[in-house]
């Protein structure tokens, strides 16, 4: 199993959600986050120290999937979230050790 975390532009959330539903993703968790990438916002001097300002609002989508969906999930998110401009976001993939469906006690891919 994999846990896919995608940081995207907030206005792209609906497109990404639809694209993921179409390929059979069963559940999605969405969090409003702030972040910066390579442009790093700009830095500001405050009492002699440099602080990074300009955290930009982003949306983080988390999807737990079976390995067989990984390529499709990456492709769907990439297509749906792409504007071609800076700040389109990133996708991080991690191994997911276990999943438990609380109501039924099912585990592993059956729980997803
Ligand atoms: N290395 C990273 N680790 C954790 N989060 C990151 C990382 N890079 C980007 N992010 C998150 O993704 C968001 C969008 O990043 P962004 O698309 O600006 O990346 P980038 O590398 O600057 O690419 P681009 O040049 O296309 O803007 C950031 O605001 C941050 O929340
Ligand atoms: Mg950037």
Q: What is the pLDDT of residue 54?
A: 74
What does the pLDDT look like over 38-54, one tens digit per residue?
A: 877 555 455 666 555 67
Considering only the top CATH level, what class is 2-111? Answer: alpha beta
**Ligand nearest to the backbone CA of 36:** 1
Q: What is the pLDDT of residue 49?
A: 60
What does the pLDDT look like over 23-34, one tens digit per residue?
A: 999 999 999 999
Going from the Cα of 57 to the center of ligand 1, the distance in angstroms, rounded, reads 11
Q: Alpha-carbon distance 82 to 56, whole Å?
A: 17
Q: What is the pLDDT of residue 44?
A: 47
Q: Which among 17, 20, 10, 34 has a CA at the least distance from the CA of 88? A: 10
What would you report as the CA-atom Rg of the chain, rounded to the nearest whole angstrom? 17
Q: What is the pLDDT of residue 111?
A: 97
Q: Alpha-carbon distance 82 to 8, whole Å?
A: 9
Going from the Cα of 82 to the center of ligand 1, the distance in angstroms, rounded, reads 13
Q: What is the pTM of this model?
A: 0.91
The residues spanned by each domain of the chain are 2-111
Lowest mean pLDDT among 10-14, 21-25, 53-57: 53-57
Write the DSSP assignment of 62-111 as a string of letters: EEEE-GGGHHHHHHHHHHHH--SSTT-EEEEEEE----B-TTT--BGGGG
């Amino acid at each position: 199993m994999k846990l896919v975390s995608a940081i995207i532009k907030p206005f792209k959330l609906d497109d990404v959600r639809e694209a993921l539903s179409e390929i059979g993703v069963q559940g999605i968790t969405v969090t409003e986050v702030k972040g910066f990438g390579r442009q790093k916002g700009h830095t500001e001097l405050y009492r002699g120290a440099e602080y990074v300002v300009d955290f930009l609002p982003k949306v983080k989508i988390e999807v737990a999937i079976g390995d067989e969906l990984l390529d499709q999930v990456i492709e769907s998110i990439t297509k749906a979230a792409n504007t071609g401009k800076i700040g389109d976001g990133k996708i991080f993939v991690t191994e997911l050790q276990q999943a438990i469906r609380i109501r039924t006690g099912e585990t592993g891919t059956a729980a997803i």
